[in-house]
Amino acid sequence: MKMVGISLAARPTNATGIATYEDGKINTYSVYKDENITEIVQRFKPAVVAIDAPLVVVEKPFRSAEREMQQFGYSLLPLNTPVMIELAKRASSLKYEIEGLTKVIECHPASTKKVLGINNVKELKNVRFLNIIKNDHEADAIFAAITALFYEEGSYEMFGDEEEGFIILPKL
């Protein structure tokens, strides 16, 4: 199975981390432009793309997804700050482009790590890294790709609603 995880930067002047996952092998990239992101998705042809960013733009601090997750002890940033609004706008646009190619889900890598009971990529078992991870965005993208894998296998929890969007987390 092929999955892609994206740790999206709010601005194209900052690096976006991408991780491709196929049968236990992980490759990571840092890119800047949306075209570079969609090119990787087109070339790799994943079953699912998981994006670490709000896929719906809202003007309030928290959607139902964040409020539900907070009840379980997950820590999430408010969505109504200028940077988060900028991130959500970029993510929403990117989702629209990628949805024509494959399934797109929203994830939260910090919460995925909490579910899995690990702190960083060095603790992952049964995966082989094909390159050196260059930054935190690439590391978060790996956890996004792992969330996509759990989603595709049907082992996931979904927080939120249809109107404001869902956040997907692995379920053990």
Q: pLDDT of the chain along its 172 residues, tens only?
A: 999 999 999 999 999 999 999 999 999 999 999 999 999 999 999 999 999 999 999 989 999 999 999 999 999 999 999 999 999 999 999 999 999 999 999 999 999 999 999 998 989 988 899 999 999 999 999 999 999 999 999 999 999 999 999 999 999 9
Instruction: Give the per-residue pLDDT at 137.
Output: 96
Q: Can you tell me whether residue 73 is helix, strand or coil?
A: coil
What confidence score (pLDDT) does residue 24 get?
94
Are 105 and 49 within 8 A, CB to CB? yes
Give the C-alpha separation, 155 to 69, whole Å.
Answer: 17
**pTM for this prediction:** 0.96
User: Do 76 and 66 contact (CB within 8 A), yes or no?
Assistant: yes
Give the number of other CB atoms < 10 A from CB of residue 42.
13
Pick from 4, 18, 1: which is nearest to 147 by CA? 4
Nearest-angstrom CA–CA distance, 135 and 15:
9
Residue 30 in tokens = 């840092």
Q: Note the pLDDT of residue 41.
A: 98
Superfamily of chain region 2-170: YqgF/RNase H-like domain (3.30.420.140)
